[in-house]
Amino acid sequence: MKLSKNIQSTAKKVLTQEAEAILQVSAGINSDFEACVEHLLSIPGRIVFTGIGKSAIIAQKIVATMNSTGTPALFMHAADAIHGDLGMIQDGDAVICISKSGDTPEIKVLVPLIKRLQVKLIAMVSNKNSYLGQQSDYILHALAEQEADLLNLAPTTSTTVALALGDALAVCLLECKGFTAQDFAKYHPGGALGKRLYLKVGDIYPTHEFPAISHTSSIQEAIHEISSKRLGATAVLDAQGELAGIITDGDVRRTLENSKDWSAIVLADMMNTTPKTIEAEAFATEALAIMQSKNITQLVVTANKKAVGFVHLHDLLKEGIV
């Protein structure tokens, strides 16, 4: 195998060329693009993406992006469309056809069939004067004058430009719709990303027993509660069952270390009467932010102003929030 002596320069050239092509497409964004977005916002149906070859692969990725950001979309392979898959297109849909040349045989066969269905046809095409460009209601101009390989044959720059233009379209649609992080979480419930967006403190704290003692309890009872519940702390409740404070294992050690007469120690000597709390309905990420800002490892969880449990830093680590 003959190795090129210019591997680094070739890689940089490819990336630079593709980046410049994207900037060129960006400079061409105009009112036509805006009109296309406005139409897609107005339709009651889905966006059907189609293409052939590498364009089909790009179409599938854009479909995935659209669906995950609140815009219903589906993929229809251009070759399969003429063998029954045209039935995927319904009234109220719009079709985006991706093709660099806009003149491939499959596209020339498919376009008239789509036009018969009386849905808007949008071309994502490099050559605006192609058959596809001329037959379309809107054009997303994915200009790619030169592919990145020396032979100017392999779909490289053209597919990168189409993918980036698809991302731009998806983001415009989500922003116009007011798509929120909570909406995003609905479509991404799995993994650490999803959990950061939807997991609440109330989903976590019930996995533990609630370490709690009365304000009249002994020091020995407090230490036993901290040790047995294994959260490094215990809540202290007053006569009405309200949160009076908390005692952590650190509070115990510091108090004993600074006291000459352990027999004289009472709960009030150890107790923090202004503990940090968090509502059960708060997001787990809020709990993490408080722990990090206050340099603590647990928070008392409250619901309807009553202490109901603890959430610990280890819980957040286990859930992948950290």
Q: Which one has a higher pLDDT value, 1 or 13?
A: 13
pLDDT of residue 188: 63
Per-residue pLDDT of 68-97, as tens digits, reads: 899 999 999 999 998 889 999 999 999 999
Q: Residue 199: which residues within 8 A CB-CB, separation 6 or more?
A: 283, 284, 285, 319, 321
Give the bridge partners for 121, in sequence order. Answer: 95
| The pair of three-digit structure tokens given for residue 188, joined into one six-digit string | 């991404």
Measured CA distances, 72 to 63, 68, 99, 142 (Å): 8, 9, 21, 22
Task: Report the predicted TM-score, pTM, of the whole model to 2 decimal places.
Answer: 0.68
Q: Residue 39: which residues within 8 A CB-CB, separation 6 or more?
A: 94, 120, 137, 138
Q: What are the DSSP E strand ranges found in 16-152?
A: 47-51, 73-77, 94-99, 120-125, 138-141
Question: Which residues fall in the annotated binding site for substrate?
Answer: 77, 83, 216, 269
Q: Is the pLDDT of residue 282 over 60?
A: yes
Question: Which residues fall in the annotated binding site?
Answer: 77, 83, 216, 269
pLDDT of residue 117: 94
> End-to-end CA distance of the chain, in Å?
46
Q: Is the pLDDT of residue 267 over 90?
A: no
Q: Which letter does DSSP use for residue 53 in this model? A: T
Q: Contact at 8 Å (CB) between 242 and 253?
A: no
Per-residue pLDDT of 216-228, as tens digits, reads: 998 889 999 999 9
Q: According to DSSP H, which parts of 117-218 are helical? A: 131-135, 157-176, 181-187, 191-198
pLDDT of residue 243: 94
Domain boundaries, the chain: 7-179, 201-318
Domain spanning 201-318: CATH 3.30.390.30: no
Of the pLDDT bands very low, low, confident and very high (cuts 50, 70, 90), residue 322 is: low
Edge to edge, what strands does the sheet with 233-237 contain? Answer: 212-214, 233-237, 243-248
**H or E segment and range at residue 11:** helix 7-27
Q: How far apart are CA 296 and CA 282, in angstroms?
A: 18
| The pair of three-digit structure tokens given for residue 252, joined into one six-digit string | 């115990």
Identical topology for domains 7-179 and 201-318 = no
| The pair of three-digit structure tokens given for residue 313, joined into one six-digit string | 């830093």
- Multiple choice CATH, 7-179, 3.30.300.20, 3.40.50.300, 3.30.56.10, 3.40.50.10490: 3.40.50.10490
Question: Which residues fall in the annotated binding site for Zn(2+)?
Answer: 77
Q: Contact at 8 Å (CB) between 188 and 81?
A: no
- Tell me what the pLDDT averaged over the chain comes to: 91
Q: How far apart are CA 273 and CA 277, in angstroms?
A: 12
Q: How far apart are CA 296 and CA 167, in angstroms?
A: 41
Altogether, the residues listed in the chain come to a count of 322
Q: Give me the residue label for tokens 């957040």.
A: 316
Burial 101-125 (b: 16+ CB within 10 A, else e): ebebebbeebbeebeeeebbbbbbb
Per-residue pLDDT of 154-173, as tens digits, reads: 999 999 999 999 999 999 99
